[in-house]
Structure 1
Amino acid sequence: MSAIETVRGQVESSDLGVTLMHEHIFVLTPDVQANYPAGWGEEETRIADAVTRLQKAYDAGVRTMVDPTVVGLGRYIPRIQRIMEQVPINLVVATGVYTYNDVPRYFNYRGPALTEALGVDVPDPMVDLFVGDIRDGIAGTGVKAGMLKCAIDHQGMTPGVERVMRAVARAHLETGTPITVHTHPDSQSGLEVKRVLCDEEGVDPGRVVLGHSGDSADHDHLSALADAGFVLGMDRFGIYLDTTMEARADTLLEMLRRGYGDRMVLSQDASCHIDWIDPDVMAFLPQWHYTHLFEDVFPYLLEHGATQDQIDTMLVDVPRQFLDPASVVE
């Protein structure tokens, strides 16, 4: 067994328990929040609300969450530390960059962007930033990242997305820290992840969660990704603007029927507050919260043929083995 980095320090992987592999505390746009703070409201109110929501998750049985909030999603660890001082959940935080298109402007004239102009190979500073977050801690807080995060969406493998993905791969190879990737399964972007991360950069697909795989009902495509070795994130339960709980759950049931219970993890991709969405729209997502799986999805799964052992595998065993390969008993 190995120790897993969390906001409050290291936790033995055997103590992770029920683990939600993709939830956020806050998803924010820092420039907007700094200049137009009315939408955020009172800091103490937001912190108290987060504590209440997370405590409810703990009371439902959650013991660990992975929060893949990185640059581009408003990561601010000091606020998260205040919250986690008041909640017994283990929170694993991430490092990386979230973009569907370009790298943040900060990186425009750093690293590989200078290679052609200077005529020499310039290493990407993102790699050192990510490794520093993992080894030394984030922004002087002492909190070390336990996950790497990047993204690809319907725009495909743009130069910016590819640059971040390769930096994440190289930080992984240097540190062993696992990777989660926001994907767009309808465009089969997982295949592009395989090409860049695994085929070209040498990352073991078993160390990669393909986030949001449950957005697709293409069971053959999902099966192919699982057969390639990836872990599938069935992690957007509660988001039902263009689908239903039953549709998401039925995809999960079919993948269980095909024997992939040991290749999937579960979550809701929920948050205490997200400023990307108008509050009036949030009213149409009443099940998008940390305990929807326990209150609604698991009863449906059990009623339609899943077993409690299968659910426990996806909630406990697969996350533990993913976060700590040393926990696997040969």
Structure 2
Amino acid sequence: METAVPTVTGPVAPDRLGRTLMHEHVFVLNAELERNDPSSFDAAARIPDAVAKLTELREAGFATIVDLTVFGLGRDVARVAEVAAGAGINVVAATGWYTFTDLPNWVAFRGPGTMQGGDDPLETHFVRDIEHGIGETGIRAGVLKCATDKPGVTPGVERVLRAVAAAHRRTGVPISTHADAATRRGLEQQKIFAEEGVDLSRVVIGHSGDSTDLDYLRALADQGSTLGMDRFGLESLGGFTDRVETVARMCELGYADRMVLSHDASCFSHNFDPDFKARRLPDWRYTHIPQDVLPALRERGVTDAQLTAMLVDTPRRILAGRPS
């Protein structure tokens, strides 16, 4: 059964999601840096710039992005709502925690087995963001986010994974991950999610497109999860030709309905100097897929039906469905 999808500007009927980019960001910020150095984020300039960039994406035929900016990445959904309204595009907000290793002390000192004990504040925050809204905005999260990178499943990372799984069980909201493909971290994520009773068909294993290892990708998909082929334009972690070829090969093997496409791009990030991005990563932008990737995939033999599966049908199934 499908349900309305929460976005930063209100619920959206599933048939209005249209073409969807499943792993993007609007602003990636360091809140402490901004508070102590306000010049590091000029909202008066950056918000109109973001509106222009997302308007360009909408005019290229896309209706929705999933913004996977959560705790640890400077999430500010009020700003994102202003951008989404200005651009006339749907933005699905996320809840979760982004860490490769440890958790901050205000979390690490609370919860089962910690110094202070009590309920796990991670699960509490995630469920509240989904059911009641983020902060005082009333904007409800529509997806859960977690990360496992090269350090592996550290105690802090494992705690996030299991809290995300618990929130998924309670709310039915899907899970989207950051997973280091070179170290096959997606398999570790799936193992923990399965232990926790997660419906793996409601999980997107992010950054799968960083790998050309078809055995790894098929193993993830054969367990039911969707592959995030979601870093088009980030050429330092995988070239354009390899990314296109991997998607095409997986389509040939029958996995078109187990992949989604995206960039993992942002309008502005404290992590990247804008001049550096423009000079070294010119294709790391929202319109790279409609302008460059889709023509290349078609030339490689990917059909329009397969593209629709990756851009429309599978995102809709994940965002609007409920666990079986």
TM-score normalised over the length of structure 1: 0.94
Structure 1 residue 242 displacement after superposition: 4.3
The residue number in structure 2 matching 1:169 is 165
Hey, what's the Cα distance between the residues in 2 that align with 1:182 and 1:106? 23
> What's the Cα RMSD here?
1.5
- How far is the alpha carbon of 1:259 from its aligned partner? 0.6
Q: Is the 8 A contact 2:179 2:206 kept in 1?
A: yes
1:96 matched to 2:91? The reply is: no
Bigger Cα displacement from structure 2, 98-107 vs 31-40: 31-40
Shift of 1:243: 2.8
1:222 pairs, out of 199, 217, 223, with 217
The amino acid across from 1:165 in the alignment is L
Q: 2:272 aligns with which of 266, 271, 277?
A: 277
**Residues 150-203 of structure 1: CA deviation (Å, up to 9, x unaligned):** 1000100000000011111001100001000100011011111011111x1010
- Cα deviations across residues 3-51 of structure 1 (Å, max 9, x unaligned)? 11001111111211101101100111111121123332x3111110000
After the TM superposition, list the runs of 4 or more consecutive aligned residues in structure 1 that deviate by more than 6 angstroms.
none
Partner of residue 8, structure 1:
9
1:60 offset after TM fit, Å? 0.3
Asked if structure 2 preserves the Cα contact closer than 8 Å seen for 1:2 and 1:327, the reply is no
Tell me the CA shift for residue 308 of structure 1: 1.2
- What residue identity is the alignment partner of 1:314? M
Structure 2 residue runs without a partner (length 5+): none
- 2:289 equivalent in structure 1: 293
**Given that residues 321 and 327 in structure 1 are in contact (C-alpha distance below 8 angstroms), is that contact kept between their aligned partners in structure 2?**
no
Q: 2:242 aligns with which of 235, 241, 247?
A: 247
Q: Does 1:213 align with 2:199?
A: no
Mapping of 1:101-140 within 5 angstroms?
101-114=101-114, 122-140=118-136
1:150 aligns with 2:146: yes
**Does the CA contact (< 8 Å) of 1:14 and 1:327 recur in 2?**
no
**1:289-328 alignment runs, 5 A limit:** 289-325=285-321
SS of corresponding position for 1:10? coil
Conserved? CA contact 2:210–2:237, under 8 Å: no
Distance 1:94 1:44, change over 3 A: same
Map of 2:259 onto structure 1: 264
| Structure-2 residue corresponding to 1:76 | 76
Other structure's SS at 2:123 match: helix
What residue ranges of structure 1 are gaps of 5+ in the alignment? Answer: none
- 1:92 & 1:98 partners in 2: Cα distance? 17
- Report if aligned partners of 2:181, 2:208 keep a CA contact under 8 Å in 1: yes
Distance 1:191 1:243 in 2: 20
Percent of counterpart pairs with the same letter?
A: 48
Q: 2:176 aligns with which of 180, 183, 206?
A: 180
* Counterparts of 1:326 and 1:123, CA distance in 2: 26
Post-superposition offset of 1:112: 2.5
Aligned: 1:64 with 2:64: yes
1:35 corresponds to which residue?
36
1:270 match: secondary structure: coil
Distance 1:194 1:326, change over 3 A: closer
Aligned residues: 322
